[in-house]
Amino acid sequence: MRRVYVLGAGITKYGKSPFSARELALEASRKAILSAQLSPSEIQAGFVANAFSLSEKQGHLGPIVMSGLGIPDAPASTIESACASGASAVREAWINIGAGIYDCMLVVGVEKVSQLDTITATTYFSFGSDYIFEGACGASFPGLYGALARAHMTKYGTTELQLANVAVKNHENALLNPNAHLHKKISVEDVLHSPVVASPLKLFDSCPFSDGAAAAVLCSEDYLRLKGRTLSEKILIRGSGRAGGTGALHQRKDLTTLGAAVLAGREAFNRAGLSYKDIDFAEVHDCFTIAELVAEEDLGFFPRGDAAKMTEQGVTKIGGDLPINPSGGLKAKGHPVGATGVGQVVEIFEQLNGIAGERQVKDSRIGLTHNVGATGGSCGVHIFELT
Amino acid sequence: MRRVYVLGAGITKYGKSPFSARELALEASRKAILSAQLSPSEIQAGFVANAFSLSEKQGHLGPIVMSGLGIPDAPASTIESACASGASAVREAWINIGAGIYDCMLVVGVEKVSQLDTITATTYFSFGSDYIFEGACGASFPGLYGALARAHMTKYGTTELQLANVAVKNHENALLNPNAHLHKKISVEDVLHSPVVASPLKLFDSCPFSDGAAAAVLCSEDYLRLKGRTLSEKILIRGSGRAGGTGALHQRKDLTTLGAAVLAGREAFNRAGLSYKDIDFAEVHDCFTIAELVAEEDLGFFPRGDAAKMTEQGVTKIGGDLPINPSGGLKAKGHPVGATGVGQVVEIFEQLNGIAGERQVKDSRIGLTHNVGATGGSCGVHIFELT
């Protein structure tokens, strides 16, 4: 495997958009290509991360995006792993370039769901679960993550107030992110008094349905040299991990951890030759507040049962010892399903390049992304280093 | 890139099935793993090729399949390139193993559409086109391929009777394939007098809507050695190519060729260090009769405008100089979208191993697969060699 770099990154505003998936994907792609200081014709191939474009009557997004960029000959497949589609697509591009198949690729994640009413959107999302055992029985994701939260509370004494702390922090971070979906300062009381969605999870414990797109241009070391770019101050993909878990929760032994995240994290750390201690900040998959705590424990950042306390103590704030979700996370930056994992990479790119504005994490050289599909049927973890 | 082999292959019967995509995928996967003489626990990761499983209310098929096989930790993403999803998934597994990420992978393609009525199925399929320019305007695939046929007839004098020859041949081959969807001997007159679907294409020029699944186990050379298998009499993936084309036909300069197939073929031949003359037989994407002729010309098997004549002369029959679609092709074996490209690999595996029964192509060592998405928005070509 050759070394692979992130050469450029671009993102649309997350939120309710009047634009189609096609248009959103093109906006993010053009921004990423511009950020890489390339022209579209230099892109050799790509991947599109998307889960629900059929709801907009459009599949086969690869040629739609590539044609829109004026490079129809460049092949692009769609990769879907429910909410982890983005991380999966980034990983496959990393492997394609690492293997020497291509030197310069585009990865773009996109989702457009605001044309669906909330019930239909929730139903569509539940197709990412093991539908015949979960979605069809009314167990959509708020209920399933509610079960994870209840298990964590039972085993470790985690409280609803501690969950609320995660939401408050991520809303604060999103206020500093112009592309975030939710720009709303909230208090712990706001969270605790918001409507119950699936006990113990409330509305403000939950991420919104978002439209949006995010893109990254990945390239080989040879390509950087060819283009006369220096290798210093470039973002290296230092490690990557990917793992699976059972489709349905009833097949799990323990609901306080996602096995896929543990395994994907382990693979990423092994490939990077690093440990959790080397990570300066991370973007993790906080589709619900409980998910951020579980992620921190699955990745080994904190001992089991300690993540809530660490959040309470401010360790995971921007300015804390280990900032988590400086972008605002899925919780407040938003969660356009196919885009989410690629959007995490955009945040890492901006942070490591020191262009994250008011939410800049100081003195960071190594960042991690953690992107989960459904309740951990899939997980992708990537580690990035400013070389 | 390391050398990658096809160690096992399995397929379900194609046709109208009472089973779900999940069940079909598991049947094909288990057969492939059995054919590889492995146990499921030896599969490290996989890809699922699928386009329309949301019509069955199930996305995120990877963990569903892997959980069903009893190996939930093994990651699997879904890859979609419309009707070329299968070839795309095979390619990504080839790259993953070639790069050294995994040593043993499962690729399974699956589609289940018979729960949809014909109009709904045609509409779903049209989501693989550039929907706002084509499907939404009523231009579904029969119409689009009808335009390709008309252009070929105008430029090269191809006749409706010559198109019918393709259907007759592929129906004859399918009679010898127990897993084929259509077991019906037809005559040229049957084709010419069948109902017009989109002039000049008639019902018997068109492939059926099929349910079905196909799977292959791919592995590295190191893995074969580790398992004590000899390298002789093993199926090597000698070359692979993948390319794109415009989503919509109105953006093309020439409707008598699919540029993506030309480019993908060129890449596959280059990587294999072979030319079209080295191919002993091929499985090509004959979703409509015209598509087989265009494929043969795009791959360079015959000069432009000559494919119809070669079919007439029996060159492409089993027993001819260059058998095309000995399986019966999409036309008669059937076309379960996500499965099709993987099913082509299953046919190559059986032919090169000499276990294709009555439809055996004699003395063949090199076979090619050609799998097209939509009207050539995507194309994947692979070349296999019995080493």
Per CB-CB distance under 8 Å, the chain B contacts of A242 are 45, 75
CB contact under 8 A, A247 and B82: no
Q: Does A75 touch chain B (CB under 8 A)?
A: yes
Q: Largest alpha-carbon pair distance within chain A? A: 57
Residues B229, B25 contacting (CB under 8 angstroms): no
Would you call A100 exposed, middle or buried from its count of C-beta atoms within 10 A (0-12, 13-18, 19+)?
middle
Q: Which pLDDT value is given to residue B353? A: 96
The answer to whether the CB atoms of A52 and B54 lie below 8 A apart is yes
Predicted local confidence at residue B196, as pLDDT: 98
Q: A171-206 pLDDT, tens per residue?
A: 999 999 999 999 999 999 999 999 999 999 999 999
pLDDT of residue A57: 95
Q: What mean pLDDT comes out for the span A225-246? A: 92
State the nearest Cα–Cα gap between A21 and chain B, in angstroms.
12
Task: Provide the pLDDT for residue B231.
Answer: 78
B351 vs A371: CA distance, rounded Å:
42
Q: How high is the pLDDT of residue A232?
A: 77
> pLDDT (tens digit, 9 = 90+) per residue, A117-170?
989 999 999 999 999 999 999 999 999 999 999 999 999 999 999 999 999 999
Which of B64, B75, B98 lies nearest to residue A242, judging by beta carbons? B75
Candidate from A75, A85, A242 with C-beta closest to B378:
A75
Q: What is the pLDDT of residues B76-125, one digit of tens each?
A: 999 999 999 999 999 999 999 999 999 999 999 999 999 999 899 999 99
The residue from B83, B219, B287, B379 that is catalytic is B83
Nearest-CB residue to A245 (from B59, B63, B80): B63
B132–A245 C-beta distance less than 8 A: no
Q: What confidence category does residue A218 fall into, taking pLDDT thresholds of 50, 70 and 90?
A: very high
Chain A residues 98-137 with CB within 8 Å of chain B: 98-101, 124, 127-132, 135-136
Q: Which residues of B touch A73 (CB under 8 A)?
A: 243-245, 259-260, 263
Closest to B72 (Cβ–Cβ): which among A55, A78, A244? A244
pLDDT more than 90, % of chain A: 98
CB spacing of B246 vs A67 below 8 angstroms: yes
The pLDDT of residue A222 is 94
Residues 12-31 of B with CB under 8 A from A: 22
Percent of chain B with pLDDT over 70: 100
Q: Which fold has domain A4-116+209-226?
A: Peroxisomal Thiolase; Chain A, domain 1 (3.40.47)
> B250 to chain A: nearest residue by CA?
A67
Q: Which residues of chain B have pLDDT under 70?
A: none
Which pLDDT score, from 0 to 100, does residue B308 have?
98
- Inter-chain CB proximity B243 and A63 less than 8 Å: no
Tell me, yes or no, if B335 is annotated catalytic: yes
Interface probe with A: pick from B2, B41, B80, most Cβ of A within 10 Å:
B80
The pLDDT value recorded for residue A233 is 81
For residue A26, the model assigns a pLDDT of 98
> What is the model's pLDDT at position A231?
78
Q: What is the pLDDT of residue B315?
A: 98
SS (H, E, C) chain A: CCCEEEEEEEECCCECCCCCHHHHHHHHHHHHHHHCCCCHHHCCEEEEECCCHHHHCCCCHHHHHHHHCCCCCCCEEEEEECECHHHHHHHHHHHHHHCCCCCEEEEEEEECCCCCCHHHHHHHHHCCCCCCCCHHHCCCHHHHHHHHHHHHHHHHCCCHHHHHHHHHHHHHHHCCCCCCCCCCCCCHHHHHCCCEEECCEEHHHECCCCEEEEEEEEEEHHHHHHCCCCCCCCEEEEEEEEEECCCCHHHCCCCCCCHHHHHHHHHHHHHHCCCHHHCCEEECCCCEHHHHHHHHHHCCCCCCCCHHHHHHCCCCCCCCCCCECCCCHHHHCCCCHHHHHHHHHHHHHHHHCCCCHHHCCCCCCEEEEEEEECCCCEEEEEEEEEC
Kindly state the average pLDDT of the residues A49-75. Answer: 97
Q: Which pLDDT value is given to residue A230?
A: 81
Average pLDDT, chain B: 97
Choose, out of B1, B77, B134, the residue to mutate when testing the contact with A (most A CBs < 10 Å): B77
CB contact under 8 A, B67 and A246: yes
> CB burial class (10 A; 0-12, 13-18, 19+) of residue A114?
middle
The pTM score is 0.98
Give the CA distances from residue B344 to residues A47, A140, B180, B240, B338, in Å, rounded to whole numbers and listed in that order. Answer: 23, 37, 12, 14, 11
Domain spans, chain A: 4-116+209-226
Q: How many Cβ pairs within 8 Å bridge chains A and B?
A: 200
Question: Which pLDDT score is estimated for B233?
Answer: 80
**Residue A40 burial (C-beta neighbours within 10 Å; 0-12, 13-18, 19+):** middle
B220 CB near a chain A CB, below 8 Å? no
